[in-house]
Amino acid sequence: MVRRELDNEGPDRLYTVTRGRSRADDDLDLVTLIVAKAEPVAGMQSEHARILRLCVTPAAVVEISADLGMPVGVVKILLSDLLRAGKITARHPSSARAGRQLPDAAILKKVLVGLHNL
Amino acid sequence: MDSTTSDRLPLADTASDGLKIVIVGGFGVGKTTMVRAVSEIRPLSTEETMTQAGLGIDETGGISAKTTTTVAFDFGRISLNEQMVLYLFGAPGQERFWFLWDRLFSGTLGAVVLVDTRRLSDSWYAIDRLEHHATPFIVARNNFPGTTAHSLDAVRDALSLPAEVPLIDCDVRDRASAKHVLISLVGHLYSLSTAREAVSS
C-alpha cells in the first residue's frame, strides 16, 4: 500500500475544491463507473479537467478518488458537477437496483465463471 | 501523483457493471495482501470521511461537538468479463469505522471475514455487524506459520459461527488460495440465491 498525498490535503483546500458544499446530489456508488463525454477545456476547474482525462476509459468513483488523492465524498461532489454539465456519464452498478437482496443466480454464475478464468 | 494513473491497466470501454466484495478483518490479518494476490492493478488506497455531531464517539476525547472521522481503505480490481468489474475492498474491522462499513456494504455481493486464530476476538464485531446487515459472508482463516494448531471446528466454536456459514483455510499470499476464497464466497452466494429463487417460484 502506498501512502498518498492525501495526508497533506488540508480541510481548507478540500473546502475550496468543492466550493463549500459537503454533499453530492447524485446517487453515486463507490463502484459506479464514470466515462468522460467531453475533453477538458481552458478555464475549467483543474480537478474537473483531471477527472475528464482520467475517465477517457471507464473508471470507478473509488479509483478516481485514489488518483486525485481526495476523499470519496469530495470526489462525488466534483462528479455531480460534471454530470449536471453533461461532461460525463455514470454507469450505475446493477447491485444498486437490487438493494439489499441477493443478486440473481444468473449474475453470480457469471461472477463465478469470471473468477474461475483468472 | 498523476503517475499512478498512467501505469494503470485501463478498463475495457465496454465495462458497465461494478460489483463489490468486502474483505474485513483486524489490523495485520492480511486484507491488503489478499487484494494484491488477485487484483489486476496494484492495490490503491483512498479515504472516506464523515463529520458527525455528538460526543463520546471519538476516543481521543475531544471537547469539540463535531468530530470528523477519516478512514483509509484499500481496494483492487478484477475484470470478470467485458461488462463486469469486481472491486475488492479491504476494510478495517474496528468498531469505530462502522460508518465506512455501512457504505461499503450497501450493494455488496458479500463479504469475506479474514481471521487470524491468534486474535479471533478481532473478528467478533465484524461478524456481528454482517449478521445485523444480513450481508452474506464466509470466514477464511489466514494460516500464519505455526497457527494451524486449532481445528476449524474449534475456530467455528470460538466465533459462535452458525453451521451454514462456510469456514475455510487459506494463505492469502498465494494467488490460487486467494482466488479459492473468492470462489468459495461466490459459490455460497450462488447457493443462497438459487435456494431463494426455488422458494419464490
Q: How high is the pLDDT of residue A112?
A: 97
Listed in sequence order, the residues at least 6 apart from B44 whose beta carbon sits closer than 8 Å to its beta carbon are A2, A62, A63, A66, A67, B4, B74, B75, B76
* Closest chain B residue to A100, measured at CA: B107
Q: How high is the pLDDT of residue B70?
A: 81
Q: How high is the pLDDT of residue A26?
A: 64
Q: How high is the pLDDT of residue A99?
A: 55
Q: How high is the pLDDT of residue A97?
A: 56
Residue bearing the bigger pLDDT, A14 or B28 = B28
pTM assigned to the model: 0.87
Q: Which residue of B1, B38, B74 is in closest CB contact with A1?
A: B74
The single residue listed with the C-alpha cell 450497501 is: B106
Mean pLDDT of B18-40: 94
Q: How high is the pLDDT of residue B165?
A: 97
* Per-chain mean pLDDT for chain A: 85
Residue A23 above 90 pLDDT?
no
Domain count, chain B: 1
Q: How high is the pLDDT of residue B172?
A: 94
Residue B30 above 50 pLDDT?
yes
**How far is B27 from chain A, CA to nearest CA, in Å?**
14
Alpha-carbon span B57 to B53, nearest angstrom: 9
Q: Which residue of B13, B107, B186 is in closest CB contact with A95?
A: B107
Q: Which three cell numbers, joined as nine digits, stand for B168?
A: 475455510
Q: Are strands A33-36 and A59-60 parallel, antiparallel or unpaired?
A: antiparallel
CATH code of residue B20: 3.40.50.300
Q: Which residue of B16, B50, B135 is in closest CB contact with A91?
A: B16
Ranking A31-35, B16-20, B127-131 by mean pLDDT, the lowest is B127-131
Q: How high is the pLDDT of residue B139?
A: 97
Residue bearing the bigger pLDDT, B163 or B60 = B163
Residue B19 near residue A93, CB atoms below 8 Å:
yes
Q: Which three cell numbers, joined as nine digits, stand for B85?
A: 468489474
Give the model confidence (pLDDT) of A61-91 as tens digits.
Answer: 999 999 999 999 999 999 999 999 999 999 9
* Per-chain mean pLDDT for chain B: 85
Containing A68, the helix (H) or strand (E) segment is helix A61-68
Indicate the burial class of B104 (C-beta count within 10 angstroms; 0-12, 13-18, 19 or more).
Answer: buried
For B149, the domain range is 3-200
A59 touches chain B (CB under 8 A): yes
Chain B residues with CB inside 8 Å of A108's CB? 109, 186, 189-190, 193
Residue B132 above 60 pLDDT?
yes
Q: Judged by CB atoms within 8 Å, which residues 4-33 of A form the interface with B? A: 4-6, 11, 22, 29-33
A42 touches chain B (CB under 8 A): no
Ranking A75-84, B30-39, B61-70, B105-114 by mean pLDDT, the lowest is B61-70
